[in-house]
């Protein structure tokens, strides 16, 4: 029964029934037929208006869904930049990954996706949030440059297979060690045996930590969360 009344055709039927009843009670056939046709016309007009209202609502709902998807995409791209920096198995990933280019591809992809999502989001958020996103994008560009410098430095400084093996042996010792001072020992050994590589890695670490702190302290994640709450989809 509910599905019947949700269908605009019921308006045509309703007004047609009203016109038909009037036709039966009006003695003047011409006036009765005119009233009947008028009722049918009103029913058709009401059905058209109802269809238009429903179509408009569907279009607005689609816009809300699209806005949610675009805003949520910005949120996930931000999280991707933090995740690749903060994941606790980052060093093990580099050590054990058979394809050394995978992490490089990830960094390039995440940098490009952040750039696109930020500069396409000007119409998705207010000016304050958009300004924060622009600043965050600039900050991550610094992280990407530091990462590139680190990779280039490693390639130029670790030229021979022996040097590469020594470097990964040192990293492996740190990763597999149960010592509470393993990281400090690794940094000291790296600084002593591979000073240029150590400097580039420290610069990358500095940029990465500064970026994460900036994102968390500026509160942009909480700002975007407000836009992707279900009860805020209309805004």
Whose tokens are 């149960």? That residue is: 178
SS3 57: helix
The beta-carbon contacts of 126-135 under 8 Å, at least 24 apart in sequence, are 128/223, 129/220, 129/223, 129/224, 129/227, 132/218, 132/219, 132/220, 132/223, 133/74, 133/220, 135/214, 135/218
**CA dist., res. 28 & res. 10, Å (int):** 28
pLDDT in tens, the chain (235 residues): 444 445 656 555 665 666 556 555 555 555 556 655 665 666 666 666 667 777 777 677 677 888 889 999 999 999 999 988 886 545 544 544 545 557 788 889 999 999 999 999 998 999 999 999 999 999 999 999 998 888 888 777 777 788 778 877 877 777 677 777 777 887 888 888 888 888 888 888 899 999 999 999 999 999 999 888 766 555 5
pTM of this prediction? 0.69
Instruction: Tell me if 51 sits within 8 A of 8, measured CB to CB.
Output: yes
């Amino acid at each position: 029964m509910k599905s019947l009344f949700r269908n605009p055709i019921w308006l045509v039927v309703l007004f047609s029934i009203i016109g038909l009843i009037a036709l039966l009670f009006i003695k003047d056939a011409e006036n009765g037929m005119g009233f009947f046709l008028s009722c049918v016309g009103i029913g058709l007009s009401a059905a058209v208006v109802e269809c238009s209202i429903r179509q408009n609502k569907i279009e607005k709902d689609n816009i809300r869904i699209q806005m949610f998807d675009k805003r949520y995409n910005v949120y996930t791209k931000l999280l991707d930049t933090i995740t690749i920096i903060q994941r606790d198995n980052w060093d093990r990933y580099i050590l054990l990954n058979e394809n050394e280019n995978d992490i490089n591809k990830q960094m390039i992809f995440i940098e490009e996706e952040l750039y696109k999502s930020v500069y396409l989001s000007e119409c998705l958020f207010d000016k304050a949030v958009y300004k924060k996103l622009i600043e965050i994008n600039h900050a991550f560009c610094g992280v990407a440059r530091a990462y590139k410098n680190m990779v280039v430095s490693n390639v130029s400084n670790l030229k021979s297979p022996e040097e590469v093996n020594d470097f990964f042996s040192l990293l492996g010792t740190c990763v597999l060690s149960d010592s509470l001072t393993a990281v400090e020992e690794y940094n000291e050994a790296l600084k002593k045996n591979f000073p240029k590589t150590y400097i580039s890695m420290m610069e990358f670490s500095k940029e990465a930590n500064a970026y994460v702190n900036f994102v968390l302290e500026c509160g942009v994640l909480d700002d975007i969360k407000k836009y992707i709450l279900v009860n805020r989809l209309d805004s």
